[in-house]
Structure 1
Protein backbone atom coordinates (compact mmCIF):
# COMPACT_ATOMS: atom_id res chain seq x y z
CA UNK A 1 0.00 0.00 0.00
CA UNK A 2 1.20 3.46 -0.91
CA UNK A 3 -0.09 5.88 1.72
CA UNK A 4 0.20 9.60 1.03
CA UNK A 5 -0.03 11.70 4.20
CA UNK A 6 -2.05 14.89 4.43
CA UNK A 7 -1.13 17.03 7.46
CA UNK A 8 -4.20 17.92 9.49
CA UNK A 9 -4.37 19.94 12.70
CA UNK A 10 -6.31 17.40 14.76
CA UNK A 11 -5.63 15.61 18.03
CA UNK A 12 -6.83 12.17 16.92
CA UNK A 13 -4.60 9.20 17.71
CA UNK A 14 -3.52 7.25 14.63
CA UNK A 15 -2.44 3.63 14.67
CA UNK A 16 -2.73 1.38 11.65
CA UNK A 17 -1.73 -2.06 10.45
CA UNK A 18 -2.00 -3.98 7.20
CA UNK A 19 -2.84 -7.58 6.47
CA UNK A 20 -3.33 -8.33 2.77
CA UNK A 21 -5.92 -5.88 1.42
CA UNK A 22 -7.21 -5.04 4.90
CA UNK A 23 -6.16 -1.83 6.59
CA UNK A 24 -6.94 -1.53 10.29
CA UNK A 25 -7.07 2.02 11.65
CA UNK A 26 -7.49 2.38 15.41
CA UNK A 27 -9.21 -1.01 15.54
CA UNK A 28 -11.55 -0.44 12.55
CA UNK A 29 -10.96 -2.88 9.69
CA UNK A 30 -11.30 -1.55 6.15
CA UNK A 31 -11.26 -4.23 3.43
CA UNK A 32 -10.13 -3.05 0.00
CA UNK A 33 -10.25 -6.47 -1.68
CA UNK A 34 -13.34 -5.35 -3.64
CA UNK A 35 -11.43 -2.69 -5.58
CA UNK A 36 -10.29 -4.28 -8.86
CA UNK A 37 -7.10 -3.37 -10.76
CA UNK A 38 -7.46 0.00 -12.52
CA UNK A 39 -10.46 1.17 -10.49
CA UNK A 40 -10.78 3.84 -7.85
CA UNK A 41 -13.12 4.86 -5.07
CA UNK A 42 -13.55 8.37 -3.59
CA UNK A 43 -12.03 8.71 -0.13
CA UNK A 44 -15.41 9.93 1.12
CA UNK A 45 -16.92 6.50 0.28
CA UNK A 46 -14.61 4.73 2.75
CA UNK A 47 -16.47 6.19 5.72
CA UNK A 48 -13.42 6.73 7.92
CA UNK A 49 -12.40 10.18 9.18
CA UNK A 50 -8.73 9.56 8.36
CA UNK A 51 -9.38 9.26 4.61
CA UNK A 52 -9.21 12.56 2.71
CA UNK A 53 -12.61 12.94 1.07
CA UNK A 54 -11.30 14.66 -2.08
CA UNK A 55 -8.62 12.04 -2.78
CA UNK A 56 -9.09 8.54 -4.20
CA UNK A 57 -8.43 4.99 -3.08
CA UNK A 58 -7.21 3.21 -6.21
CA UNK A 59 -5.52 0.02 -7.26
CA UNK A 60 -2.68 0.40 -9.78
CA UNK A 61 -0.05 -2.21 -10.63
CA UNK A 62 -1.50 -4.50 -7.93
CA UNK A 63 -0.91 -1.87 -5.21
CA UNK A 64 -3.43 0.24 -3.31
CA UNK A 65 -2.90 4.01 -3.26
CA UNK A 66 -4.74 6.35 -0.90
CA UNK A 67 -4.36 9.47 1.25
CA UNK A 68 -4.70 9.58 5.03
CA UNK A 69 -4.85 12.52 7.40
CA UNK A 70 -1.69 12.78 9.49
CA UNK A 71 -2.49 14.33 12.87
CA UNK A 72 -0.15 17.25 13.60
CA UNK A 73 0.02 19.84 16.36
CA UNK A 74 0.48 23.57 15.74
CA UNK A 75 4.08 23.22 16.92
CA UNK A 76 4.89 19.86 15.29
CA UNK A 77 8.07 19.94 13.20
CA UNK A 78 7.63 22.04 10.05
CA UNK A 79 8.65 19.11 7.83
CA UNK A 80 5.41 17.34 8.83
CA UNK A 81 3.05 20.33 9.14
CA UNK A 82 4.01 21.77 5.77
CA UNK A 83 6.15 19.31 3.80
CA UNK A 84 7.88 20.51 0.64
CA UNK A 85 7.09 17.19 -1.06
CA UNK A 86 4.19 14.90 -0.15
CA UNK A 87 5.11 12.26 2.42
CA UNK A 88 4.43 8.78 1.01
CA UNK A 89 4.79 5.58 3.02
CA UNK A 90 5.28 2.28 1.24
CA UNK A 91 3.58 0.08 3.81
CA UNK A 92 3.53 -3.68 3.74
CA UNK A 93 2.18 -6.28 6.14
CA UNK A 94 2.17 -5.39 9.82
CA UNK A 95 2.11 -2.09 11.71
CA UNK A 96 2.33 1.13 9.69
CA UNK A 97 5.17 3.36 10.87
CA UNK A 98 3.94 6.95 10.71
CA UNK A 99 6.32 9.88 11.28
CA UNK A 100 6.56 11.16 14.84
CA UNK A 101 4.73 14.49 14.66
CA UNK A 102 4.88 15.23 18.37
CA UNK A 103 6.22 18.69 19.18
CA UNK A 104 9.87 18.86 20.15
CA UNK A 105 10.60 18.96 23.86
CA UNK A 106 11.11 22.49 25.17
CA UNK A 107 14.73 23.37 25.84
CA UNK A 108 16.00 22.84 29.36
CA UNK A 109 17.39 26.07 30.74
CA UNK A 110 19.57 25.89 33.80
CA UNK A 111 19.14 28.89 36.05
CA UNK A 112 22.06 30.21 38.06
CA UNK A 113 22.16 29.22 41.68
CA UNK A 114 20.89 32.01 43.91
CA UNK A 115 22.85 32.55 47.08
CA UNK A 116 21.09 34.13 49.97
CA UNK A 117 22.63 37.19 51.53
CA UNK A 118 23.04 37.27 55.29
CA UNK A 119 20.48 39.27 57.23
CA UNK A 120 22.97 42.02 58.01
CA UNK A 121 23.42 42.87 54.33
CA UNK A 122 26.80 41.15 54.02
CA UNK A 123 28.54 43.19 56.74
CA UNK A 124 30.90 41.30 58.98
CA UNK A 125 31.52 42.25 62.60
CA UNK A 126 34.82 44.04 63.20
Structure 2
Protein backbone atom coordinates (compact mmCIF):
# COMPACT_ATOMS: atom_id res chain seq x y z
CA UNK A 1 0.00 0.00 0.00
CA UNK A 2 1.46 3.35 -1.06
CA UNK A 3 0.37 6.10 1.31
CA UNK A 4 1.08 9.71 0.42
CA UNK A 5 0.83 12.11 3.36
CA UNK A 6 -0.59 15.63 3.17
CA UNK A 7 0.14 17.94 6.14
CA UNK A 8 -2.97 19.00 8.04
CA UNK A 9 -2.96 21.32 11.05
CA UNK A 10 -4.79 19.48 13.84
CA UNK A 11 -4.31 18.32 17.40
CA UNK A 12 -5.62 14.85 16.43
CA UNK A 13 -3.24 11.92 16.12
CA UNK A 14 -3.27 9.00 13.72
CA UNK A 15 -2.13 5.42 14.06
CA UNK A 16 -2.72 2.59 11.68
CA UNK A 17 -1.89 -0.78 10.24
CA UNK A 18 -2.20 -2.69 6.99
CA UNK A 19 -3.41 -6.25 6.48
CA UNK A 20 -3.54 -7.07 2.77
CA UNK A 21 -5.97 -4.57 1.23
CA UNK A 22 -7.40 -3.54 4.61
CA UNK A 23 -6.21 -0.28 6.13
CA UNK A 24 -7.00 0.37 9.79
CA UNK A 25 -6.79 3.96 11.06
CA UNK A 26 -7.38 4.77 14.73
CA UNK A 27 -9.34 1.52 15.11
CA UNK A 28 -11.57 1.95 12.02
CA UNK A 29 -10.99 -0.53 9.17
CA UNK A 30 -11.33 0.19 5.44
CA UNK A 31 -11.35 -2.78 3.07
CA UNK A 32 -10.18 -1.90 -0.45
CA UNK A 33 -10.16 -5.51 -1.75
CA UNK A 34 -13.21 -4.88 -4.03
CA UNK A 35 -11.37 -2.02 -5.81
CA UNK A 36 -10.46 -3.24 -9.30
CA UNK A 37 -7.21 -2.38 -11.11
CA UNK A 38 -7.35 1.13 -12.58
CA UNK A 39 -10.46 2.16 -10.64
CA UNK A 40 -10.61 5.11 -8.25
CA UNK A 41 -12.72 5.64 -5.18
CA UNK A 42 -13.16 9.33 -4.24
CA UNK A 43 -12.36 10.23 -0.64
CA UNK A 44 -15.89 11.65 -0.34
CA UNK A 45 -17.17 8.05 -0.63
CA UNK A 46 -15.19 7.01 2.47
CA UNK A 47 -16.65 7.75 5.90
CA UNK A 48 -13.45 9.29 7.24
CA UNK A 49 -11.84 12.72 7.28
CA UNK A 50 -8.36 11.15 7.12
CA UNK A 51 -8.60 10.42 3.37
CA UNK A 52 -7.75 13.08 0.79
CA UNK A 53 -8.35 12.99 -2.97
CA UNK A 54 -8.99 9.33 -3.96
CA UNK A 55 -8.00 5.72 -3.40
CA UNK A 56 -6.78 3.88 -6.49
CA UNK A 57 -5.52 0.40 -7.33
CA UNK A 58 -2.48 0.37 -9.62
CA UNK A 59 -1.52 -3.20 -10.39
CA UNK A 60 -1.65 -5.04 -7.08
CA UNK A 61 -0.94 -1.95 -4.95
CA UNK A 62 -3.45 0.41 -3.37
CA UNK A 63 -2.45 4.08 -3.63
CA UNK A 64 -4.03 6.70 -1.40
CA UNK A 65 -3.46 10.04 0.32
CA UNK A 66 -3.98 10.60 4.04
CA UNK A 67 -3.83 13.68 6.22
CA UNK A 68 -0.68 13.92 8.32
CA UNK A 69 -1.41 15.66 11.62
CA UNK A 70 0.98 18.56 12.22
CA UNK A 71 1.16 21.40 14.72
CA UNK A 72 2.26 25.00 14.21
CA UNK A 73 5.58 24.10 15.86
CA UNK A 74 6.11 20.82 13.97
CA UNK A 75 9.35 20.61 11.97
CA UNK A 76 9.11 22.45 8.67
CA UNK A 77 10.02 19.28 6.74
CA UNK A 78 6.59 17.92 7.77
CA UNK A 79 4.53 21.11 7.66
CA UNK A 80 5.86 22.15 4.23
CA UNK A 81 7.62 19.17 2.62
CA UNK A 82 9.58 19.86 -0.55
CA UNK A 83 8.71 16.40 -1.90
CA UNK A 84 5.57 14.46 -0.95
CA UNK A 85 6.05 12.10 1.97
CA UNK A 86 5.22 8.56 0.80
CA UNK A 87 5.07 5.47 2.99
CA UNK A 88 5.34 2.01 1.44
CA UNK A 89 3.19 0.20 4.02
CA UNK A 90 3.35 -3.57 4.20
CA UNK A 91 1.39 -5.89 6.46
CA UNK A 92 1.67 -4.67 10.03
CA UNK A 93 1.78 -1.33 11.82
CA UNK A 94 2.32 1.86 9.83
CA UNK A 95 5.18 4.05 11.02
CA UNK A 96 3.98 7.61 10.58
CA UNK A 97 6.57 10.41 10.89
CA UNK A 98 6.96 11.96 14.34
CA UNK A 99 5.65 15.47 13.70
CA UNK A 100 5.92 16.62 17.30
CA UNK A 101 7.87 19.79 17.98
CA UNK A 102 11.57 19.31 18.57
CA UNK A 103 12.57 19.46 22.20
CA UNK A 104 14.81 22.35 23.09
CA UNK A 105 17.89 21.66 25.18
CA UNK A 106 17.66 22.61 28.84
CA UNK A 107 19.96 25.46 29.79
CA UNK A 108 21.18 25.73 33.36
CA UNK A 109 20.99 29.28 34.63
CA UNK A 110 23.40 30.38 37.30
CA UNK A 111 21.90 30.75 40.74
CA UNK A 112 21.17 34.29 41.82
CA UNK A 113 23.37 35.47 44.66
CA UNK A 114 22.29 38.05 47.19
CA UNK A 115 23.87 41.42 46.84
CA UNK A 116 24.91 40.99 43.23
| TM-score bracket, shorter-length normalisation | over 0.9
Aligned counterpart for 1:83 among listed residues 81, 86, 92: 81
Q: Normalising by the residue count of structure 2, what TM-score does the alignment of the two structures yield?
A: 0.95
- Structure 2 partner of 1:71: 69
- Structure 2 partner of 1:19: 19
Aligned-pair distance for 1:48? Answer: 0.8
Spell out, residue by residue over 1:23-67, the C-alpha distance to the aligned partner (whole angstroms, 9 max, x if none): 010000110011011111111111111001xx1100002100000
Task: Output the CA distance in 1 between the equivalents of 2:54 and 2:113.
Answer: 65
RMSD: 1.2
Q: Normalising by the residue count of structure 1, what TM-score does the alignment of the two structures yield?
A: 0.88
Unpaired stretches in structure 2, ≥5 consecutive residues: none
Unpaired stretches in structure 1, ≥5 consecutive residues: 122-126
Aligned-pair distance for 1:109? Answer: 1.8
Task: Output the CA distance in 1 between the equivalents of 2:14 and 2:54.
Answer: 20
Q: Which 4+ residue blocks in structure 1 deviate beyond 4 angstroms? A: none
- Structure 2 partner of 1:59: 57
Point out the structure with the larger strand share.
Answer: 2
Give the number of equivalent residue pairs: 116
Aligned-pair distance for 1:114? Answer: 1.8
After the TM superposition, which residues 1-126 of structure 1 pair with which residues of structure 2 at under 5 Å, given as runs? Answer: 1-52=1-52, 55-117=53-115
Task: Output the CA distance in 2 between the equivalents of 1:106 and 1:45.
Answer: 42
Spell out, residue by residue over 1:75-122, the C-alpha distance to the aligned partner (whole angstroms, 9 max, x if none): 0000000000000000000000000000011331211122224xxx9x
